[in-house]
Amino acid sequence: MLEFIQLLKQRYQSVLSQQGNEARRTLYQQRIDQLILAEAFIRKGQLLNTSTNPPLQMAVIGPTQAGKSSLVNVLLNCQVAGVSPLAGYTVHPQGFCHGVRLNDCHDLAHYFGRFQQLSQSQLSNDRHDCYSLTALDNESSLLPHGVLWDTPDFDSIDSATYREGVIRAIALADIVILVVSKEKYADQSVWDMMAFLQDLHQPVVICLNKLPEGSEAVLINSLQEKWRAHRNDAFPDVVPLFYEKQTGAPQWSAKQTALLHDLARQVSHKKQARFTQELLQKYWHLWLEPIRAEHQALADWQALCAEAMQSALASYQRDFLNHPHHYETFQHALAELLTLLEIPHLAGFLAGARKALTWPVKQLMKLGRKRQHIANSSHEVALLKQIAEHSLIQLVDKLLDQAEHHQQSQWWKALNSLLRTERPRLLAEFSEAAHDYHIDFQQEVEHAAEQLYHKLQQQPMVLNTLRATRVTADAAVIAFTLHTGGIGVQDLVIAPAMLTVTAMLTESAIGSYMHKVENDLKQQQLHTVKQRLFIDTLIKHLLTLPEQLSALTYFNITPDSLHAAEQQLIDKRHGLRLL
């Protein structure tokens, strides 16, 4: 599941980085934040599963200039967090180990993933994919043992560049300390963030900073209204923070000295797996909306390809297999039949030809020159090429129609452009496949001739009649000329001698059997053309075209990958498997 969430996040980021996506920028950025949060929360579950006694994690969060770093110093009872009157001074998550060793936090390297751990002095404003951990020697009565994180703001314009680090630090936290000032507590960005974090079920403390004397009651009431408008869990404790005039630092109330210690004792990780699954289920359908739209477009494309194939096969049947003048294959089978007959009028000529040729040479002629000649002169091959070209032209037109009327218009336009580019290659491959098919199918033609010959052997009268007829000998000469490349199959079909032989066989005792052989040959021919030329060649390549669309512009997550991820999500009884 973690790998799928990471893939989904990367694809959203890639798609959003492309020009022309301004209309979706806010929506997609929200989903990226949700995916970062989900990825971090899954990583936290892994951290808890692999650590025997993980240290407590506490995060100080808030809008810009709320006084977060100043409060961190107060809670730690030492000046370790950088403080500046300038907004956005802190741009990296900075952890301070209070009562724990750095070695106790070695698993955080896996949690932060691609983020690199550096010392505080190494952090640079030019690089945001890093964090720091600092070991402290002093003790503070306000804090339980654990890691206290000073985090960047989440509301400034520049925060978009370091927002991922903020979310990762917050998702790690067992306790969240929200710092707001009287100027910032009502900002929508604050309450959007708190609503965003509700699904993590973290204990929260609100610190109301920079308060003037006597204003806390009104502000706390307002905070409570804001909380209830954006969250449905219990309103947390609020710590009013007043400035010490001498130091300028916020003053933690003596009444709240044990507050964070009490919250630490309430922290439990038993429901981490369930909370993770609930978080994923909450956003799952929203995250997958553009992916499912692409899958629907892909299904529509597959339907168009299937429709194009059925139309092509219908044309092939109408204009070749069932056409009374164009269907040449069975006539070629009859020509093969005549070469099997021992015809007295041709005995000397054919015997001399057989005597002059050795068996291997005859086979080469049979499989090579003859079939090559037949393929080159075949009306069927020419027709199949025309049908394929017409099918691709129709598909290009239908892609344009889809681009005009479909929600995924950009996807269809890109596919149309790709098909136009790939059409010459597709037609060349189809042409080669059609040529090879026609040569290979001569084996079936010869098999049909052998079937007729064996049937004739069971009808001596019909066989002898054919052998005794001069027109049969003339037809045999034509057939032999066909074999040697001196006549085309179309010429064979209309030759008077061959027409007479066909009529004689049709009216004979094997007439019905001959029709059966012809129909079987047609069915086999239709099946072979469908499988070899359309399914295995043209349609196969057409169906892979969407995979060539840019992964920077489209999500390109396969239905199989999505199905595998959803199977993990469905398993509610064993939530730990998600991790």
462-493 pLDDT, tens digit per residue, is 667 766 664 455 555 555 555 554 445 555 54
Share of the chain above pLDDT 90, in %: 38
Beta bridge partners of 208: 180, 240
- CA–CA separation, 412 and 480 (whole Å): 53
554, 324 in Cβ contact below 8 A?
no
Contacts 24+ apart (CB under 8 A), 500-508: 500/471, 500/475, 501/334, 501/338, 501/466, 501/471, 501/472, 501/475, 502/331, 502/334, 504/465, 504/466, 504/469, 504/472, 505/334, 505/452, 505/462, 505/466, 508/459, 508/462, 508/465
Amino acid in the structure at residue 522: K
CA atoms lying within 13 Å on the CB side of residue 348: 1
Determine the pLDDT at residue 341. 67
Determine the pLDDT at residue 1. 86
Amino acid in the structure at residue 390: H
Question: Does the pLDDT at position 361 exceed 60?
Answer: no
CATH superfamily, region 53-273: P-loop containing nucleotide triphosphate hydrolases (3.40.50.300)
Q: Read off the pLDDT of each residue in 496-520 and give the average, rounded to a whole number.
A: 71
- CA–CA separation, 35 and 37 (whole Å): 5
- CA–CA separation, 465 and 190 (whole Å): 101
How, if at all, do strands 242-243 and 250-251 pair? antiparallel
Residues in the chain: 579
Question: Does the pLDDT at position 65 exceed 80?
Answer: yes
Question: Does the pLDDT at position 398 exceed 70?
Answer: yes
Q: Read off the pLDDT of each residue in 264-287 and give the average, rounded to a whole number.
A: 90
Determine the pLDDT at residue 85. 61
Both tokens of 393, joined, read 């032209």
Angle between helices 496-507 and 511-528 (to 10 degrees): 110
Beta bridge partners of 148: 58, 96
Specify the domain boundaries for CATH 3.40.50.300 within the chain.
53-273
- CA–CA separation, 566 and 564 (whole Å): 6
The DSSP annotation for 219-269 comes to HHHHHHHHHHHH--S---EEEE-EE-TTT--EE--GGGTTHHHHHHHH---
Contacts 24+ apart (CB under 8 A), 320-327: 320/379, 320/380, 320/383, 321/522, 321/525, 321/526, 325/493, 325/494, 326/379, 326/383, 327/522
- Of residues 515 and 234, the one with the higher pLDDT is 234
Neighbouring CB atoms inside 10 A of 479's CB total 27
- CA–CA separation, 149 and 319 (whole Å): 77
Highest mean pLDDT among 304-318, 326-340, 442-456: 304-318
Q: Which of 217, 215, 220, 210 is nearest to 245 (CA)?
A: 210
Determine the pLDDT at residue 530. 95
Question: Does the pLDDT at position 368 exceed 50?
Answer: no
Both tokens of 159, joined, read 């925060």
Question: Does the pLDDT at position 127 exceed 70?
Answer: yes
Q: In which band, very low, low, confident or very high, does the pLDDT at 442 lie, cut at 50, 70 and 90?
A: confident
Beta bridge partners of 240: 208
Q: Read off the pLDDT of each residue in 544-556 and give the average, rounded to a whole number.
A: 82
Q: What is the pLDDT of residues 131-183, one digit of tens each?
A: 999 999 888 989 999 999 999 988 887 888 889 999 999 999 999 999 998 88
Question: Does the pLDDT at position 34 exceed 60?
Answer: yes
191, 62 in Cβ contact below 8 A?
no
- Helix/strand/coil (H/E/C) assignment for every residue in 298-362: HHHHHHHHHHHHHHHHHHHHHHHHCCCCCCCHHHHHHHHHHHHCCCHHHHHHHHHHHHHCCHHHH
- CA–CA separation, 186 and 198 (whole Å): 18
> Phi and psi dihedrals of 73, rounded to 5?
-65, -40
Q: Read off the pLDDT of each residue in 412-434 and give the average, rounded to a whole number.
A: 93
- Of residues 331 and 224, the one with the higher pLDDT is 224
- Of residues 446 and 61, the one with the higher pLDDT is 61
Residues 6+ apart with CB under 8 A from 370: 442, 482, 483, 484, 485
Q: Read off the pLDDT of each residue in 401-407 and give the average, rounded to a whole number.
A: 81
- CA–CA separation, 340 and 270 (whole Å): 84
Q: Which of 211, 209, 174, 201 is nearest to 63 (CA)?
A: 209
Alpha-carbon separation of residue 546 from 151, 193, 502 (angstroms)? 42, 38, 50
Q: In which band, very low, low, confident or very high, does the pLDDT at 60 lie, cut at 50, 70 and 90?
A: very high
Look at 95-109, 141-155, 370-384 and tell me which has the smallest mean pLDDT. 370-384
Question: Among positive and negative, which fits the CA dihedral 135, 141, 146, 148?
Answer: negative
Highest mean pLDDT among 203-207, 441-445, 453-457: 203-207
pTM of the model: 0.73
State the chain's mean pLDDT as an integer: 82
